[in-house]
Amino acid sequence: MVNYLVTLRTDAALLIVAHGSTVNADSSAPTLAHAAEIRRREIFADVECAFWKEEPSLRDAVFLFDPESIREVCVVPNFISEGYFSQTVVPRELELYGRITKRSNGQIWRYCEPVGNHPIMTDLLLRRAQEIAPGVPKNEATLLIVAHGTDLNENSAVAAKREAEKIRSLGKYSAVLNVYMEEPPLVSEWRKLTKTRNVVVVPFFISDGLHSYEDIPVLLGIVVAAGGGCGQPGSALPATAAPGEIFRHNPYRVDNRSIFYAPSIGTDAGFADIILEQALNAKS
Amino acid sequence: MADPVEKLLETVCNDSRSFCVGEILVRKTSTGGFALSHRDDKATDQLKIFRSAEDAIDIAKHDDAGNYRPLKTAPKLRHGWRLDLETLEDLRRALDYFYPGRLAMFAAWKSDKLQITPLRETLERQSGMYRAAARISDSQINDVVADFCRSNGGCLRTILWKRDAEEVIASTKLPKEKFDPAYDQMMASKPPGSPTPATAPIPATIPLLCQEACNLLIAECRKVMKGE
């Protein structure tokens, strides 16, 4: 945990904004948990969350902080990358014009960097990879950082690429690759992209949900699609397994290789530290 | 220093021994705390007891059938629980988990600080996959809003927004009470002959105000345009 010696003014609030989901009940859970942890530390006078797809909405957020008592609001996007949501949707919905916006009521809103941009992220990815594959020699393993990838904003895949480069430069793993669900290099081509016996996979997502529970496991071949036969007999889970069960059966044996599959990085409790860091960076 | 939301809650608590927020009944206890339950469970003894405001997150997440509730103001809060809380701060936090942001909207509305946004303005602002929603006709809006926002099965919020800048009502197919903050939307959500008839005394109620169309309604408008 980061040790904070700074106590912010009692007239400052933190707003954590995230995507949320209308179909996935677990989507907002990490964001709410990080907010509760930061609230517990009593650094801000108020800590609130707002979501694109859940409540309170980003539009509601404009009215969450009493301008009489809260003079400054730090907005931290709980997004993995600088992209469509952090650059277009969030500023538009919150009526933010650049890094600092002064409201007509005098309230100052500071728009901070998304959590995915913070240097601590590299440490969290390394820690999660170590936790999911303890005892596996890193020089005999490939680390895959899996992100979504999209054509809506070309920056979407940048954060995953940057993290892969940083970890690769440390020389710990035999190979470190950034792969994507919807753009090359595709996670579904991991057999061709990797050469090691062990493959450690960390989803670079804010929360667990459809992508980490189902989509990526199917693309990796560690889930048996209904009526189909992926991987070796007895090694894969049925597609009907309970959410979260997918992370409890490591390693998976596919084509004589071992796959270690981790929960999404955003569920790491260390995200609370990153959110605080981003807010403090914006204030300094 | 108590903020406007806590002051407002304090006032409501001082004025009455019990009050309602959406589907929730809040009762003051003899020890100065609060007992929250589903309004339908008012006379039920066999309730599962919870004691943390954070328990509200899980209680509100799924309906009685186990389905995820993406819209917390939909009248599908599950039954069979009681949440015992000690302080006003706990109560505020729990209600914020049950109905995220609604207390703050009510406080802003009470002090004339709540900005109301017409539906057309919300639609015109959209980008990406929701841009198509702006092409929806006035007649289609009339139907979509009537179906999606109705208190009986749709949403318990009180609509404050208009269809457009000309101040046209959001849907002529909804009863006028749907737009009245003084009306308890739960009364409209109950079918005739239900245990809480419309003629029963109405407890003090904090309305769930809707100052702007939610993303779910925008998604419904998009579905109409996409023929889904």
The residues spanned by each domain of chain A are 12-116+268-283, 119-267
Indicate the DSSP class of residue B68. B
Chain A residues whose CB is inside 8 A of the B127 CB are 88-89, 92
Per CATH, the architecture of A12-116+268-283 is what? 3-Layer(aba) Sandwich (3.40)
List Cα–Cα distances, B228 to A222, B62, B141, B149, B219, in angstroms: 33, 25, 15, 19, 11
* Token pair 């981790």: residue: A262
Facing residue for B105 by CB, picked from A25, A32, A60: A60
Determine the Cα–Cα distance for residues A219 and A119; give it in Å rounded to an integer: 29
Determine the pLDDT at residue A233: 37
Neighbour-count burial for A154-173, b at 16+ CB within 10 Å, e otherwise: eebbbbbebbbeebeeeeeb
Chain B residues whose CB is inside 8 A of the A67 CB are 113
CATH fold for domain B119-190+208-226: Alpha-Beta Plaits (3.30.70)
**Residue B23: closest CA among B7, B8, B42:** B42
Determine the Cα–Cα distance for residues A81 and A115; give it in Å rounded to an integer: 8
List Cα–Cα distances, A34 to A31, A212, A274, B57, in angstroms: 5, 20, 10, 14
Contact A69 B128 (CB under 8 A): no
Grade residue B116 by pLDDT with cuts at 50, 70 and 90: very high
Contact A60 B101 (CB under 8 A): yes
- Give the tens place of pLDDT for each residue, A18-45: 999 999 888 999 999 999 999 999 999 9
DSSP string, chain A: ---------TTEEEEEEE---SS-TTSSHHHHHHHHHHHHTT-SSEEEEEESSSSSBHHHHTTSS-TTT--EEEEEE--SSSSHIIIIIHHHHHT--SSEEE-TTS-EEEEPPPGGGSTHHHHHHHHHHHHHSTT--GGGEEEEEEE---SS-TTTTHHHHHHHHHHHHTT-SSEEEEEESSSSSBGGGHHHH--SSEEEEEE--SS-SHIIIIIHHHHHT-EE-TT---SSTTTSEETTSPTTGGGGSPSEEETTEEEEEPPPGGGSTTHHHHHHHHHHHHH-
Determine the pLDDT at residue A230: 42
Determine the Cα–Cα distance for residues A271 and A121; give it in Å rounded to an integer: 8
pLDDT over 60 (residue B195):
no
Nearest CA in chain A to B62: A25
* Ranges of chain A with pLDDT below 70: 1-9, 151-156, 224-241, 283-284
Residue A155 identity: N
Chain A residues whose CB is inside 8 A of the B4 CB are 66, 68
With an 8 Å Cβ cutoff, is A55 touching chain B? Answer: yes
SS3 B10: helix
Provide CATH code, domain B4-110. 3.30.1360.190
Q: Tell me if A129 sits within 8 A of A200, measured CB to CB.
A: yes
**Residue A67: closest CA among B98, B10, B87, B112:** B112
Q: How do the domains of chain B map onto residue ranges? A: 4-110, 119-190+208-226
Grade residue B179 by pLDDT with cuts at 50, 70 and 90: very high
Backbone angles phi, psi at A132, to 5 degrees: -80, -20
pLDDT over 50 (residue B123):
yes
Determine the Cα–Cα distance for residues B132 and A58; give it in Å rounded to an integer: 20
Per CATH, the architecture of A119-267 is what? 3-Layer(aba) Sandwich (3.40)
Residue B61 identity: K
Q: Tell me if A141 sits within 8 A of A172, measured CB to CB.
A: no
Nearest CA in chain A to B108: A63
B174 vs A159, which has greater pLDDT?
B174
The predicted model gives B114-126 an average pLDDT of 97
In a 10 Å sphere around its CB, with 0-12 CB exposed, 13-18 middle and 19+ buried, how is residue A120 labelled? middle
- Give the tens place of pLDDT for each residue, B9-26: 999 988 889 999 999 999
Determine the pLDDT at residue A117: 86
| C-alpha B108 chain-centroid distance | 16
Where is average pLDDT lowest: A1-15, A218-232, B74-88, B97-111?
Answer: A218-232
Determine the pLDDT at residue B3: 82
Determine the pLDDT at residue A207: 92
The predicted model gives B30-44 an average pLDDT of 95
Mean of all residue pLDDT scores within chain B: 92
Determine the pLDDT at residue B45: 87
With an 8 Å Cβ cutoff, is A32 touching chain B? Answer: yes
Determine the pLDDT at residue A228: 45
How many CB pairs below 8 A link A and B? 75
